[in-house]
Chains A and B, each alone.
Chain A
């Protein structure tokens, strides 16, 4: 079974600064995907970024980027130029390849962006 651990229950950052959210996972699989999902206070969960394990290049989506360290089983999310709208719960998630799209979520990190 896979486990996903987010060691930072809460974090805060000043507007326009950069913050990094940590995620580690445990798996014996070699082919898998990793994701960061965002859940704003309105509750609608949205996908922020995805990473395929076989790709060495770190994924980026505008101000969001990841640092994927496969050997260390680490998958951190960096948010640059933080905005007030980035305030949300962030969930790291794992999915085995060919696993019927079933996600395993970490415990979440509550991020507060301060003006």
Chain B
């Protein structure tokens, strides 16, 4: 298993500003993902955070809006840029620890409200 922490746990931001969310894992992991969960909705994959290279984004998500860094095997950041109220969501990171396919461990999430 893995212990995952996210900072901040929640924030209220003004439109047009940016927020960087941190994801820290207590062990080295091969794969890290960032998801968005809009209020009352399911999870949508934003991107795969690749260590040492550019993140791989899913359709509908672009690097300019959601830049991601992953400087090492235990840490990643997601920035939500030029925010609008539509960006109000919970943002979760997840990691794959073991060799069991699909078994992802999730962070507690960051609840973002944009006013």
Contacts and interface: CB of A to CB of B under 8 A. Distances in A.
Q: Answer yes or no: do A and B interact.
A: yes
Interface stretch (A11-19, A74-82, A97-105): A97-105
Contact of B103 (A43, A50, A100, A102): A50
- By CB atoms of chain A within 10 A, which of B90, B92, B103, B105 has the most? B103
Contacts of B31: 100-101
Contacts, number: 52
Contacts of B96: 101
Main DSSP-derived SS at the A contact region: loop
Given A101-B31, A103-B45, A106-B42, A43 B90 contact: yes
A51 to B, nearest CB: 10
A27 B109 CA distance: 29
Given A35-B102, A43-B90, A47-B103, A105 B42 contact: yes
Range class of the B interface residue count: 20 to 34
A105 B43 contact: yes
Interface of B: 31, 33, 41-45, 48, 90, 92, 94, 96, 100-109
Given A44-B108, A46-B106, A97 B101 contact: yes
B108 A101 contact: no
